[in-house]
Structure 1
């Protein structure tokens, strides 16, 4: 009787790893060309705007591994917020159903708290009070914040973005998403109220001094402003003490043993990151991911673990420098995004996947989650100056689900014009397959 064991080449690989390597091998064999099933050639004028912008596209049928369209799909692009697809994938691989909101140990009536980087603590975007209600029960808290290894800002972030809501500092224990929220009624309404005395009325810019927590709002302020505050361990302890009305001190003592307090469902966090393109949530999520590997919070630790253990087969290894895509140092290929999107499709049932990924049309990300049948694109966009990218899943009229990555760099055109052309191209693919 012949042995039914696997060939020696595959004995040390799981079935999922073999599938990944096969998918990568198929993509690697694809030529950079159009295989369009008689699509209107004029649609591809957009892709070949060589003098106006640099475009790349890969469309794959994951069922039979057929490459339908390939153009510059092995070239590197600045991905902007498409990076959040990799951050999402890291979370899927490392997180459980509920986020580890903090680690703790009670010793001699003092609760020692070691943060996990959880972005949800008193974050108005989430409304979760699990950690707050837990900490409220202890009269003395020792906060350990020296377990974060990294800078407050990631490499390649624009320094002048420091006072804007989309660029809060990265910390081990973020509070109120590390921003102050202010609204002007008869008086200034500031949250957290700890910062009330730090505000002044002024029409001059910037809205915060660069190296201190002094804030300025215009006299005619009509909308709510969210302004990042400057963080340090002592300030976070004071802020937490003010919120809890309990004693909070900073400690450098490492926990010899700990328990884990779990907070809100991770799917709610992924959805906030993907639908709202929440940079803060993305960066902090990479720290939470690393807390599943050790007590050290580190973007680099998470990135290296994912690349070395789950994405070692990528044909074009990315330059991956942050979790949000704010950095122009990031470099990814359309082929890498399609590969990871295919792996997500294998790991997550379709109903859940299309619930977490944003619906998209020519106007951009649909503002509210929907299950309406007229949406056929479920994808993450990524944009910044001169850049617009879109990667995700495309439902065809014949009921197929295709995976695509459509990337556009180096354009001086308006994003709205690029979106319109992208939608027209994807709509034609939707009708043709």
Structure 2
């Protein structure tokens, strides 16, 4: 066997180490070529952070300390708040029985008659009572989030918040013989024709009056948010339960009972895969209910920031559950810290089942195609802003957390996504 001197062995080891360091440095330089001066991402505000979950260190960052509008990646904050505060199943309502009479309070649970979710057995539950009272005394919030655009009020992605949602706070419109038919039946007599140039059914801003133009009607099935109120809820609930529900202002007593509902995982999956704003907002209200038996988004966000998120690199400016508000501001490095927190408390298989997979599911189904999915993350898009936050698995089977945030660009989001894909493919193939 050939023998080597100690000096020769040391030289060989140093050569290998030196080669490894140069290779790593070269990768970083090449990655910077995709993101730095002269690249597509030089022409608008871009932030990127890549974090090695095994080594627990940042591999690359660009503008990771700057604040960006996160859009729907805000839902990751809501998700973390929920998994740290809620159990395996929802609390549908809180109630006080008194013989054949019952008074109940909402918890923000969005499931009742919402088309995207399993159903709680509320009709069976209320069957035992002759007199049903509904109180909103625990509601201390607003129908719209802080900073939502007012003229989104008739789009389904901007349904109102309420203490006890029903039908997702949406009226359903279907095409019957080229005429719109609206449900629930409470709104059927509120649908009128109009000369306004609208393509489908819309709602008046201040009332539950709906309208369409027969000449421009496109015939597509749709959902339109209705104006929520205690009175509207008791009317809709009465029709569903086939019993009169009476408005009440009774305060929620400490001595009350709770009715459990559907599994929370169904909410998480729908919120993250489909980027469902309605579920996101109500999950945050459910966290508020669990903490305070009060429905207050602002108070809940403040609590979550001070308890579970106090150690983020940069304090998030977080104002709603869904990311509809442009007042939300987060830094890429704080987003990476957040997803690492989620990663540490949740099994991989469950987490990656909830998140959209590139080329496979949810909001990533049409992007980041590959024979084997390598991107798992939450997207966020509003006009001029597109972000992606999550995880990337490389060909060497390493897992990285990343945050890729783009704000204030003057072109289509599809163009930004194409350039982002080039960056993430490089990371996949070289790290």
The TM-score bracket by the shorter chain reads 0.7 to 0.9
Query: Where in structure 2 are the equivalents of 1:204-219 lying within 5 Å?
Result: 204=196, 207-219=202-214
- Secondary structure of 1:365's counterpart equals helix
* 1:65 and 2:65 are equivalent in the alignment: no
Query: Where in structure 2 are the equivalents of 1:3-152 lying within 5 Å?
Result: 36-37=27-28, 39=30, 41-45=32-36, 52-152=43-143
Q: 1:268 Cα deviation (Å)?
A: 0.8
TM-score (norm 2): 0.87
- Secondary structure of 2:151's counterpart equals helix
Query: Where in structure 2 are the equivalents of 1:209-358 lying within 5 Å?
Result: 209-219=204-214, 220-256=217-253, 257-358=255-356
Q: Tell me how many residue pairs correspond in the alignment.
A: 398
- Secondary structure of 1:272's counterpart equals helix
d(CA) in 1 for partners of 2:423, 2:365: 22
- Secondary structure of 1:360's counterpart equals coil
Q: 1:135 Cα deviation (Å)?
A: 2.7
Q: 1:169 Cα deviation (Å)?
A: 1.0
1:123-167: per-residue Cα shift (whole Å, max 9, x none)?
011141323432344332110112111111111111111111111
Q: 1:262 Cα deviation (Å)?
A: 1.2
Per the alignment, residue 426 of structure 2 pairs with: 428
Q: 1:404 Cα deviation (Å)?
A: 0.1
What is the aligned-residue RMSD (CA, Å)? 2.2
- Secondary structure of 1:428's counterpart equals helix
Q: 1:311 to 1:196 in 2, by over 3 A?
A: same
d(CA) in 2 for partners of 1:362, 1:52: 31
* 1:199 and 2:191 are equivalent in the alignment: yes
d(CA) in 2 for partners of 1:360, 1:204: 41
Per the alignment, residue 17 of structure 1 pairs with: none
d(CA) in 1 for partners of 2:186, 2:152: 23
**The one of 371, 383, 389 aligned to 2:387:** 389
* Conserved 8 A contact 1:148-1:296: yes
Query: Where in structure 2 are the equivalents of 1:352-431 lying within 5 Å?
Result: 352-361=350-359, 365-367=363-365, 374-431=372-429
Q: In proportion to residue count, which structure has more helix?
A: 2
Q: Which region of structure 1 is more displaced relative to structure 2, 346-355 or 229-238?
A: 229-238
* Conserved 8 A contact 1:112-1:255: no
- Secondary structure of 1:378's counterpart equals strand
d(CA) in 2 for partners of 1:364, 1:238: 35
- Secondary structure of 1:293's counterpart equals helix
d(CA) in 2 for partners of 1:424, 1:386: 20
Q: 1:201 Cα deviation (Å)?
A: 3.1
Larger Rg: 2
1:109-128: per-residue Cα shift (whole Å, max 9, x none)?
21111110101111011141
TM-score (norm 1): 0.87
d(CA) in 2 for partners of 1:195, 1:118: 23
* Conserved 8 A contact 1:363-1:416: no
Give structure 1 stretches of 5+ with no counterpart.
1-33
d(CA) in 2 for partners of 1:43, 1:362: 25
Per the alignment, residue 11 of structure 2 pairs with: none
